[in-house]
Amino acid sequence: MNLRNIAIIAHVDHGKTTLVDKLLQQSGSFRENQRVAERVMDSGDIEKERGITILAKATSVVWKDIRINIVDTPGHADFGGEVERILSMVDGVIVLVDAAEGPMPQTKFVVGKALKIGLRPIVAINKVDRPDARANEVINEVFDLFAALDATDDQLDFPILYGSGRNGWMAETPEQPENADLSALFDLVVRHVPPAKVEEGPFRMLGTLLEANPFLGRIITGRIAAGTVKPNQTIKVLDREGKVVETGRVSKILAFRGIERQPIEVGEAGDIVSIAGLVKGSVADTFCDAAVDTPIQAQPIDPPTVTMS
């Protein structure tokens, strides 16, 4: 399936959860009324390994036969490496900004990282229904922020949508259109964000997020760079120097579908999946076919890892 991997960067309360909920609703993807429960997983092993827990989650919607994986980013500056690792799984970002509040200093860090790794943001000015909305000024503030963060000309030439996530619409002007929906946002993501990168060759995936699941044990999440992976397949884990960390059997593969993670029969290149069954492989390790000897180059990281779900 045609894939897009994106992240939404937003200051807390600027409406990310509400928007994602509407995206799920309007795409007809699986939806629950409840928000995703954010929960810290506990595990002796992983606890020792990380010391801290960053909550992250992902959602996946299908629009016109294109799957859009939406990865959450921590809303503020975190310990070294997490934000880069999460952003390394995506090919585009939506910078969602409250039309009254404007860009907040806390989002600067994440936006800066996104620009630095070369992502070309879409800017969505949200909550234009607020009586105190000042969309045009906020656009200028976003532009100034990008410029201050050394954005390239291409990045400064960002596409802009205005809208109200709560009222379920986004459009090219701040006035609510007759046919109020989010199709403009879906279409812009599909047009502006390149299809998920896929390389040639056998299965390879950079471990990006690590968590402990009470039923499945250790779960590693990442974007499949090449090839496919199936349950029961024997795979290898390489550290950053290419040394074999372990060889083991995949017990389960999960992918984001709606707001849930569901078991899948085959993980395909480009998709963001979670793999259970390995016992040592960790963040920044390469999970791969037995034939692979060269690890994927990871961003330099600090020891802390990220817990999802």
Return d(Cα 19, Cα 166) in angstroms, integer: 7
Closest separation between CB of residue 19 and ligand GDP, Å?
A: 7
Give the dihedral of Cα atoms 197, 201, 203, 207; nearest 10 deg: -50
Cβ proximity to ligand GDP, 130 vs 192, nearer residue: 130
Counting contacts by CB under 6 A, is residue 227 touching ligand GDP? no
Counting contacts by CB under 6 A, is residue 15 touching ligand GDP? yes
Counting contacts by CB under 6 A, is residue 130 touching ligand GDP? yes
Helix (H, G, I), strand (E, B) or coil at 49: helix
* Total residues binding ligand GDP (CB under 6 A): 16
Residue 221 labelled as part of a binding site: no
Closest separation between CB of residue 128 and ligand GDP, Å?
A: 7
Cβ proximity to ligand GDP, 167 vs 228, nearer residue: 167
Counting contacts by CB under 6 A, is residue 12 touching ligand GDP? yes
Cβ proximity to ligand GDP, 101 vs 271, nearer residue: 101
Return d(Cα 45, Cα 285) in angstroms, integer: 17
Counting contacts by CB under 6 A, is residue 73 touching ligand GDP? no
Closest separation between CB of residue 79 and ligand GDP, Å?
A: 21
Beta bridge partners of 163: 170
Beta bridge partners of 228: 268
Counting contacts by CB under 6 A, is residue 165 touching ligand GDP? yes
For residue 16, what are the CA distances in angstroms to 66, 91, 115, 164, 279?
A: 21, 19, 20, 11, 34
Do the beta carbons of residue 237 and residue 280 sit within 8 Å?
Answer: yes
Cβ proximity to ligand GDP, 29 vs 164, nearer residue: 164
**Phi, then psi, of 14 in degrees rounded to 5:** -80, -5
Return d(Cα 51, Cα 46) in angstroms, integer: 8
Nearest C-alpha neighbor of 239 from the set 207, 200, 201, 271: 207
Counting contacts by CB under 6 A, is residue 16 touching ligand GDP? yes
Closest separation between CB of residue 126 and ligand GDP, Å?
A: 5
Q: Two tokens at 264?
A: 């899948």
Q: Two tokens at 202?
A: 């056998």
Residue 129 labelled as part of a binding site: yes
Burial class (CB in 10 A: 0-12, 13-18, 19+), 299: middle
Closest separation between CB of residue 5 and ligand GDP, Å?
A: 20
Nearest C-alpha neighbor of 184 from the set 1, 22, 11, 12: 22
- Of positions 5, 27, 29, 164, contacts ligand GDP by CB under 6 A: 164
Return d(Cα 213, Cα 229) in angstroms, integer: 20
Q: Which stretch binds ligand GDP (CB under 6 A): 5-13, 114-122, 189-197, 203-211?
A: 5-13
Counting contacts by CB under 6 A, is residue 141 touching ligand GDP? no
Do the beta carbons of residue 260 and residue 30 sit within 8 Å?
Answer: yes
Counting contacts by CB under 6 A, is residue 166 touching ligand GDP? yes
Chain residues that interact with ligand GDP, rule: CB under 6 A: 10, 12-18, 126-127, 129-130, 164-167
Binding residues: 13-18, 126-129
Which segments are annotated as binding site for GTP? 13-18, 126-129
